[in-house]
């Protein structure tokens, strides 16, 4: 019976830890509505969302976190500035 109680307590602790981690994720912190595959994390408070990619142009939006809010800054590189990467 002692082993059963110990296993139950350990399971509850692990479950609680997973719940707390899911409620406040560090790696998944990004602006609402942004898919993970489009998010390029620069730091804890900044990242880029890639909107459009072609062979000669990349367009995206830079987000910066200030006072727990994401602020959007639009960016676009000039045509021809991206060289072919193999």
Work out the average pLDDT over 24-29. 57
pLDDT given for residue 32 in this prediction: 86
User: 35 or 78: which carries more pLDDT confidence?
Assistant: 35
Residue 63 exposure: Cα atoms within 13 Å on the Cβ side: 23
Q: What digits encode the pLDDT tens for the residues 42-67? A: 888 888 888 877 777 777 888 999 88
pLDDT at 78 over 70: no
- Starting at the earlier edge strand, list the strands of the sheet with 58-66: 39-43, 46-53, 58-66, 69-76
The pTM assigned to this predicted structure is 0.52
Q: What digits encode the pLDDT tens for the residues 3-21? A: 877 777 767 777 666 665 5
Confirm if 31 and 49 have CB atoms less than 8 A apart: yes
Angle at 85 between CA 83 and CA 86, to 5 degrees: 150
């Amino acid at each position: 019976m002692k082993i059963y109680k110990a296993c139950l307590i350990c399971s509850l602790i692990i479950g609680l830890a997973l719940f707390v981690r899911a409620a406040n994720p560090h790696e998944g912190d990004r602006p609402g509505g942004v898919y993970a595959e489009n998010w390029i994390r620069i730091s804890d408070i900044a990242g880029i969302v890639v909107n459009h990619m072609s062979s000669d142009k990349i367009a995206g939006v830079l987000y910066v976190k200030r006072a727990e809010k994401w602020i959007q800054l639009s960016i676009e590189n000039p045509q021809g500035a991206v060289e072919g990467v193999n």
